[in-house]
């Protein structure tokens, strides 16, 4: 697939340190090269949540090298699907884009035990999104 036919998904949360990082990692892992995943935050943290890193490591995905990124209007405009995770009015809106809002508990300040159910719910939703996009998840 070339870039013009590869769907692009942007995950947005406030700090881009937990939920959106896990979602982008799952989409990249399960969608392989058939989908582009990015994440950003309306007020990015200085580092990815260590409990999210550990929770994803348990799932076989390494996000330890990721860094929180600031949300830009350009990132939203260049995405086919924008999935928000509690960033509210801070997320820019562009007509014609597909928006989904995933209500997920914020793992900020919590340990890996609290992250696991959030991680598992994100994986379930990513598999559903891939099905909607007509993309078979990688093994």
Please give the structure tokens belonging to residue 111.
């340990």
**C-beta neighbour count of 132 within 10 angstroms:** 12
Residue 87 annotated as catalytic: yes
Q: Look up tokens 């390494």; give the residue.
A: 62
Residue 91 annotated as catalytic: yes
Cα-based torsion angle of the residue sequence 116, 121, 126, 132 in order, rounded to the nearest 10 degrees: 170
**C-beta neighbour count of 72 within 10 angstroms:** 12
One of 56, 87, 112, 118 is an active-site residue; which one? 87
One of 27, 37, 91, 130 is an active-site residue; which one? 91
One of 13, 23, 30, 83 is an active-site residue; which one? 13
Q: Which residues are catalytic?
A: 13, 87, 91
């Amino acid at each position: 697939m070339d870039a013009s036919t590869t769907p692009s998904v942007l995950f947005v949360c406030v700090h881009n340190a937990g939920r959106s990082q896990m979602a982008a990692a799952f989409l990249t892992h399960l969608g392989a090269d058939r989908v582009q995943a990015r994440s950003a935050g309306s007020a990015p943290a200085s580092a990815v949540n260590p409990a999210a890193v550990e929770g994803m490591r348990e799932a076989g995905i390494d996000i330890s090298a990721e860094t929180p990124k600031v949300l830009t209007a350009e990132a939203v405009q260049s995405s086919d699907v924008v999935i928000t995770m509690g960033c509210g009015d801070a997320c820019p809106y562009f007509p014609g884009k597909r928006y989904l809002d995933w209500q997920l508990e914020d793992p900020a300040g919590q340990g890996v035990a609290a992250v696991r159910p959030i991680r598992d719910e994100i994986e379930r939703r990513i598999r559903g999104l891939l099905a909607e996009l007509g993309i078979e998840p990688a093994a």
